[in-house]
Amino acid sequence: MGEFVLRPQYHFRQSANGLLAWNVRRLINLSRRLPIVKLAIEHIEEMHENHWYTHEVPTPNNILEHLQLIQAADLSYPIILDQAGRLMDGMHRVCKAKLQGQEHIDCVQFTQDPEPDYTDCDPRDLPYD
């Protein structure tokens, strides 16, 4: 069986210094040793916000791409929260868990947020290799 390869992706957040971006692969590596706890899906604020379409317009094709990513999501990996409890990685897993009727999901949470990989960036200019 081949090794799992995570597609290149970023967590974005607006700030006074422009758009910040964290490489999700780095977030996963930094969070590996954090304790895993159960989180009620209803407490994930991003489930009630525009999470995916802040940098692009929703189209049927990119909605289908998200549906495919939700179907392929592996719930054995915990989602990642920042120190304030905001989602940094794992919305496709959250959606899959909710679709399956789960009320809780495994998560890890930073006690201090890592520095972003990019500051004042444009998502289209980041490396996706």
| Other Cβ atoms within 10 Å of 52 Cβ, number | 16
Dihedral class, residue 18 (left if φ above 0, else alpha if ψ from -120 to 50, else beta): left
Q: Is 4 helix (H, G, I), strand (E, B) or coil?
A: coil
Q: How confident is the model at residue 5 (pLDDT cuts 50, 70, 90)?
A: low
Contact 79, 93 (CB under 8 A): yes
What's the CATH fold of domain 10-114? 3.90.1530
Reported as a single tens digit per residue, the pLDDT across 110-119 is 999 999 999 9
Which helix or strand (DSSP H or E) is residue 13 part of? strand 10-15
| Other Cβ atoms within 10 Å of 65 Cβ, number | 12
pLDDT of residue 7: 73
- Over 60: is that where the pLDDT of 27 sits? yes
The domain locations on the chain are: 10-114
pLDDT of residue 1: 38
Task: Give the global pTM.
Answer: 0.88
